[in-house]
């Protein structure tokens, strides 16, 4: 834990215990989403399914990156991950992204994805609002993650025909253009 790192956030008027709970829940959502997206990607088959496989893979890897990027901040602030992974998953900030009843229904699959991304955007909008002007490190991290969640939503929205997103493919799968600077693991493709 960073003693002064925590103190400055407290002095700025943030309830650090509450903030840490939000960060742990957010990390839980990234972790569980990574898991569920693995199942969704495996089921993205056929003429329609293959078309969305690439964005699911980008979203899947980037959600894992979000988990990796959040964890150091949790510990810096004196927090910790749940001892039991079952508690960690149960407390995830967003619901489980289950495979639809009909796994070949690509539209239903996209609906699962887009709701998960919309939930994630709301999670980070909340953390950004809480930390803006008070905790620059958590704010920048959350804003970087939110940037990627917003792109994820836009890709799904585009596939669902809701409107163009201006999306162009990542240079490498799960490139994390915004979050990679926070990663403690090697950047993808490096």
Smallest distance from the beta carbon of 38 to other proteins, in angstroms? 17
Q: Which is nearer to other proteins, 104 or 169 (CB)?
A: 104
Smallest distance from the beta carbon of 163 to other proteins, in angstroms? 17
Is residue 147 at the binding interface for other proteins, with CB under 8 A as the rule?
A: no
Smallest distance from the beta carbon of 93 to other proteins, in angstroms? 6
Is residue 100 at the binding interface for other proteins, with CB under 8 A as the rule?
A: yes
**Mask of contacts with other proteins, 4-43, x by CB under 8 A?**
---------------------x------------------
> What is the distance between the alpha carbons of residues 43 and 105, in angstroms, rounded to a whole number?
10
| Contacting range for other proteins; rule: CB under 8 A; set: 47-55, 64-72, 106-114, 179-187 | 106-114
Given Fe ion, other proteins, none, residue 112, with its beta carbon under 5 to 8 Å by kind, binds: other proteins
| Contacting range for other proteins; rule: CB under 8 A; set: 54-62, 77-85, 115-123, 131-139 | 115-123
> What is the distance between the alpha carbons of residues 8 and 154, in angstroms, rounded to a whole number?
36
Q: Which is nearer to Fe ion, 20 or 124 (CB)?
A: 124
Burial class of 70 by CB neighbour count within 10 A (0 to 12, 13 to 18, 19+): buried
Given Fe ion, other proteins, none, residue 97, with its beta carbon under 5 to 8 Å by kind, binds: other proteins
The residue ranges that bind Fe ion (CB under 5 A) are 63, 120, 149, 152
First to last CA, the chain: 29
Is residue 57 at the binding interface for other proteins, with CB under 8 A as the rule?
A: no
Rounded to 5°, the CA angle 190-168-143 comes to: 70
The residues binding other proteins (CB under 8 A) are: 25, 90-101, 108, 111-112, 115, 119, 122-123, 126
């Amino acid at each position: 834990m960073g003693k002064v790192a925590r103190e400055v956030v407290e002095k700025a008027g943030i309830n650090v215990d509450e903030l840490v709970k939000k960060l742990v829940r957010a990390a839980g959502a990234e972790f569980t989403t990574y898991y569920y997206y693995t199942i969704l990607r495996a089921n993205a088959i056929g003429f329609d399914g293959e078309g969305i496989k690439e964005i699911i893979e980008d979203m899947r890897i980037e959600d894992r990156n979000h988990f990796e990027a959040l964890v150091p901040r949790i510990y810096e602030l004196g927090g910790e991950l749940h001892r039991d992974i079952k508690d960690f998953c149960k407390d995830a900030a967003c619901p489980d992204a289950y495979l639809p009843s009909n796994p070949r229904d690509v539209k239903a699959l996209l609906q699962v994805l887009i709701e998960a991304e919309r939930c994630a955007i709301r999670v980070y909008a909340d953390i950004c609002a809480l930390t803006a002007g008070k905790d620059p490190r958590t704010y920048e991290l959350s804003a970087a993650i939110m940037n990627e969640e917003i792109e994820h939503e836009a890709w799904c929205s585009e596939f669902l025909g809701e409107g163009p997103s201006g999306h162009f493919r990542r240079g490498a799968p799960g490139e994390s253009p915004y979050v990679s600077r926070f990663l403690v693991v090697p950047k993808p493709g490096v």
